[in-house]
Amino acid sequence: MSKRALMIGNSHVGAYMRALQQSDQDLGIDLECVAAHGDRLQAYTIEDGLFCGNFDDPDGKAARAGRKERARLADFDAILVTGMRFSIFHVTQVFRDLGVVAMDSARDHETAARNGMTLISEALLRRIIVDRLSNALAMDVVRDLRQATDLPIWVMCQPRPTRQVLVKGTRFGTFCSALERGSGAFISETYERLAHETCARVGAHYMAQPPETIDEDLFTDTRFMVGTLRPPFWQKNGRKVDFRHANARYGERMLTHLAAKLA
């Protein structure tokens, strides 16, 4: 029998909704969704067991896409949270200026300085990253949900970007420098470990990005991203490209893993 889950998030819920629409197989999960683009869920409220997104939907776009504005928590077996600034993007930024001795690019103070990095302790790095992740809107939602319900809460990993972030025009300096310095594996491992830890601290589980979807530590294999187009997107050679949002194939993998956990 399928589990009923409430998914709360932003544009990253798309991968999961499409997975359910497009999959040939029973994923073992039924989803209802309260979501709004970007940070528009920040006015959410939880009162009397009712999660309310409190976002404007004047043209009914959200409703047409199957997204609700409110949901009663007691109607579900689990709550899923995704996006809302809980992502590797915010972690990778830290490594633009900072390094620790466990990284080859900052193995000693001279190497760190040559690479334009300030050497800090692993303890401080951990605190900085945990602070960043903890301050994500997703974690505000999780903390408040934890107060309101005993249901299991799963934070579903927002996918890493595609390699598109290395290309001029959509270039993210932080990802480029991480790749140049060979710190991708370290950043990826650090992100996964601290994402688990941050979620555990607020009584939630973290569903990591499936290894088969990851391309060289920092990126998502394009096969799991192609076919999506959600704002914000970039223009490249006259074509719109989306390097942040996963497709139904990614959503299906994640939901399959989740269903196994919930079974």
Partner 1 sequence: MTHPYEDIPPEGFWRSGVVETDRMDWPGLHKPKFHLTHTTRVATAGSCFAQHIGRYLRLAGINVLDGEPAPKGMGEELATRFGYGLYSARYGNIYTARQMRELLEDAMAGRVDKRLFLTRKGRWYDMLRPGVEPTGCASLEEAMELRRAHLEAVLALISSTDVLVFTLGLTEGWIDKRAGKTLAMAPGVIAGRYRERRFAFHNFSYDEVLEDLRETLRLMQELNPNIKLLLTVSPVPLTATASGDHVLSASSYSKSVLRAAAGDVAAGEAAVDYFPSYEIVTSTAMAATAYEANLRGVTQEMVETVMGVFLVAHGLLDALAEMEAGETAHGARAGSDVDLRGLRALSGPAETDEEDADVEAPEDELICEEALLEALRK
d(CA 241, CA 134): 30
Nearest residue (CB) to partner 1, 43 versus 113:
113
Q: How far is the CB of 120 from partner 1 (least distance, A)?
A: 7
Tokens 């976002």: give the residue: 55
Local structure of 221: helix, strand or coil: coil
Q: How far is the CB of 126 from partner 1 (least distance, A)?
A: 9
Q: How far is the CB of 22 from partner 1 (least distance, A)?
A: 39
Is the distance from CB of 6 to CB of 32 less than 8 angstroms?
yes
d(CA 77, CA 4): 5
- Residues in Cβ contact with 94 at an 8 Å cutoff, skipping those fewer than 6 apart: 125, 128, 129, 132
Q: How far is the CB of 56 from partner 1 (least distance, A)?
A: 30
Nearest residue (CB) to partner 1, 56 versus 122:
122
Radius of gyration (Cα) for the chain, nearest Å? 19
Nearest residue (CB) to partner 1, 107 versus 205:
107
Q: How far is the CB of 103 from partner 1 (least distance, A)?
A: 11
Which helix (H) or strand (E) element contains residue 179? helix 173-180
Q: How far is the CB of 11 from partner 1 (least distance, A)?
A: 24
Q: Is 232 exposed, middle or buried (0-12, 13-18, 19+ CB in 10 A)?
A: exposed
Nearest residue (CB) to partner 1, 68 versus 126:
126
Nearest residue (CB) to partner 1, 32 versus 104:
104
Dihedral sign (CA 243, 245, 246, 248): negative
* Binding stretches for partner 1 (CB under 8 A): 93-94, 97-98, 100-102, 108-109, 112-113, 118-124, 127-128, 131-132
Nearest residue (CB) to partner 1, 117 versus 165:
117
